Amino acid sequence: MGFADVLDSGKFIITAEVSPPRGTDLSGVLAESHQLQGLVDAVNVTDNQRAMMRMSPMVLCHRLEEAGFTTIMHITCRDRNRLALQSDLLAAHALGIRNVLAMSGDYPTMGDQPSAKPVFDLDSVQLLQMIEKMNNGLDFQDEPIDGPTSLCAGAVANPGARPLALQLLKLNKKVSAKARFIQTQAVFDAEVFHEFADVMKSTGIPLIAGIIPLKSARSARFMNEKIPGVTIPEDDMRRMEAASDPVSEGLEIAAETIARIRQHCRGIHIMPVGGQGNTRRLLEMCGLD
Amino acid sequence: MIITRPKTIEEILTMLEKFAPSPICVVGCGICARKIQTGGETQVTSLVDELRSHGLDVLDGKMVKHACSATSWDELSEEVPALAQASALLVLSCGAGVSLLGRISGKPVLPGLDTTSIGGALGDDISEGLCSMCGECDVAIYAGLCPKSGCPKSQVNGPCGGSSDGDCEVGGRKCIWARIFETLDSRGLLALLDDTRPPVCHDRRL
């Protein structure tokens, strides 16, 4: 079943995120991803996330598709102009990749190549429009391409961004640009997510809530300070600091969050910081395995 | 106004060693660089002193009215005779001023400043990056606050995911989209932002 069918099916959706290697060897991430077999509806593959240089996600998506996974390839506007975006989308399609997640991308100074030229020729709304055109057999200049693509494109949102009205300004344009689903930044505050889900309800777009199980008080503090748009509540920080087994506490917090937001979203997107071993554990804790 | 930043003395010394025959003349610009104190009289005098203290043969340090605009080299040389006598010019102006002086003088010209953006000055308050020179100004839509220059990612359809409580994800900056939104909201004009904006046509600048 393709991801578009999963979206249409009404089932509770589970996706998980993996990252390409910072080198040429895919064996580690393929072995790691193997743990997700039978557990998730799709695997998201990141695109130089946090502006840190890694292998192209297209290659890892291709290998994961060969291994039987449905993949969602992240594609950012940071590193490609409109020529390269179209070129990569055609290439991904030719390799059997059918789902993409369109985003602007973190600014280069956030990552390990801070002096890179930031491209941002298009923004994520315009990228979604480009994909819609390609799905209709046209390039961005409205000239015919040799056969339409059939790409299911999603977008990202940050339920915690304030003011929310400002966030919605762009998000509504993403919906108008035919985004098929929304995957959100990590959710830690269920109330904040409920408010966001309420506002988005009228659009009917499937919301897949981002979940990051915390691993330690230190990494929680790092995320709070360094990851744009992530805010970890004080209460969770205190629990992580007091925990004798921080990994289990982090999974417990994540499971509690999932329980609180389950009725308000179409699915969850698990972004483990580090390995995938805990993804199964978390889903078991939630009865979602 | 063109925004410039001084190069370090080490950069200037290296450049002079590589590219400039002696003697040189240091040239300040009477418009933007003077206003933001990167290429005014004070900066010219102090750079001349510093270069001389490093043993360089500096003929003089002079101001021109506007480095990016001149009637002719002859007229400029009459106004500032040291320009004609120098073998090379070290120019404290924007890149346009350096280029123009190089073109009309026929001498080697060296930039003493780095040019970073188009900005403005309100008294001593200098604003950087007010215009990106995109070639299709549509700033009326954005309450006069250009997101193509004011947002590091040049987002024209709303803020990116890194905008948080009015702050930009790029260190120390305010999110221009928060300001655009507040300003249009206060004027009851938020509907101006309803339409999805197309990307910039870069060929319009050619």
Contact (CB, 8 A) for B144 and B180: no
Candidates A79, A124, A158, A169, partner chain B, best to mutate (most B CBs within 10 A): A169
Candidates B157, B184, B186, partner chain A, best to mutate (most A CBs within 10 A): B157
Stretches where chain B sits below pLDDT 50 are none
Q: Which chain A positions have a beta carbon within 8 Å of B193's beta carbon?
A: 169
Q: Which chain B positions have a beta carbon within 8 Å of A169's beta carbon?
A: 157-159, 177, 181, 193
Contact (CB, 8 A) for A221 and A237: yes
Contact check, Cβ <8 Å, B162/A173: no
What kind and span of H or E run contains A240? helix A234-242
**Phi, psi values for residue A249, rounded to 5°:** -65, -40
Within a 10 A sphere around the Cβ of B51, how many other Cβ atoms?
Answer: 20
Using CA atoms, how far apart are residues A23 and A52, in angstroms rounded to an integer? 12
Contact (CB, 8 A) for A51 and A106: yes
In chain B, whose CA is at the least distance from the CA of A167? B159
Question: What Rg do the C-alpha atoms of chain B give, in angstroms?
Answer: 21
Output the pLDDT for position A274.
66
**Phi, psi values for residue A101, rounded to 5°:** -120, 115
**Cα-based distances in Å from A237 to A221, A278, A282:** 8, 20, 19
Which residues are CB-contacts of A133 (< 8 A; sequence separation ≥ 6)?
A139, A140, A142
Assign A183 to helix, strand or coil.
strand
Pairing between β-strand A267-270 and β-strand A207-211 as defined by DSSP bridges: parallel
Q: Is B178 on the interface with A (CB under 8 A)?
A: yes
Provide the ipTM: 0.93
Task: Please give the biggest Cα pair distance in chain A.
Answer: 61
Contact check, Cβ <8 Å, B162/A156: no
Which residues are CB-contacts of A232 (< 8 A; sequence separation ≥ 6)?
A188, A214, A220, A223, A224
Cis peptide before B23 (omega within 30 of 0): yes
Q: Is B142 on the interface with A (CB under 8 A)?
A: no
Q: How many CB pairs under 8 A join A and B?
A: 92
Amino acid B205 reads R
CA B201 to chain centroid: 23
Using CA atoms, how far apart are residues A189 and A166, in angstroms rounded to an integer? 19
Counting Cα atoms < 13 Å in the Cβ hemisphere of A160 gives 19
- What distance, in Å, lies between the first and last C-alpha atoms of chain A? 18
**What is the least distance, in Å, from the CA of A216 to any CA of chain B?**
23
Within a 10 A sphere around the Cβ of A287, how many other Cβ atoms?
Answer: 9
Number of helical (H) and strand (E) elements in chain A, helices listed first: 11, 8
Of A120, A166, A171, the CB nearest to B153: A120
Contact check, Cβ <8 Å, A123/B171: no
Candidates A107, A121, A183, partner chain B, best to mutate (most B CBs within 10 A): A107
Using CA atoms, how far apart are residues A279 and A268, in angstroms rounded to an integer? 11
Output the pLDDT for position A272.
84
Candidates A117, A132, A164, A166, partner chain B, best to mutate (most B CBs within 10 A): A166
**Cα-based distances in Å from B72 to B67, B68, B69:** 12, 12, 9
Beta strand residue intervals within A2-50, DSSP E: 13-18, 42-45
Q: Which chain A positions have a beta carbon within 8 Å of B162's beta carbon?
A: 106-107, 228-229
Q: Is B149 on the interface with A (CB under 8 A)?
A: no
Using CA atoms, how far apart are residues A133 and A142, in angstroms rounded to an integer? 7
Contact check, Cβ <8 Å, A125/B157: yes
Span A163-179, pLDDT tens digits: 999 999 999 999 999 99
**What is the least distance, in Å, from the CA of A27 to any CA of chain B?**
32
Stretches where chain A sits below pLDDT 70 are 228, 273-274
In chain A, whose CA is at the least distance from the CA of B197? A126
Output the pLDDT for position B20.
84
Q: Taking Cα atoms as reference points, which of A159, A156, A174 lies closest to residue A75?
A: A156
Of A118, A129, A169, the CB nearest to B158: A169
Within a 10 A sphere around the Cβ of A109, how many other Cβ atoms?
Answer: 15
Output the pLDDT for position B205.
84
- DSSP calls for chain B: -EEEEEPPHHHHHHHHHHH-PSSEEEEEETTHHHHTTSSSHHHHHHHHHHHHHTT--EEEEEEES-TT--S-HHHHHHHSHHHHH-SEEEEES-HHHHHHHHHHH-S-EEESEEEEEEEEEETTEEEEEEE---SS--GGGGTT--HHHHSTT--SSS--TT-BTTB-SSTTPBPHHHHHHHHHHHTT-GGGG-SPPPPP-GGGG-
Using CA atoms, how far apart are residues A229 and A160, in angstroms rounded to an integer? 7
Both tokens of residue A84?
């390269």
Contact check, Cβ <8 Å, A120/B178: no
Using CA atoms, how far apart are residues A201 and A276, in angstroms rounded to an integer? 31
Using CA atoms, how far apart are residues A289 and B20, in angstroms rounded to an integer? 72
Both tokens of residue B180?
């655009």
Q: Which residue has the tokens 């994909």?
A: A131
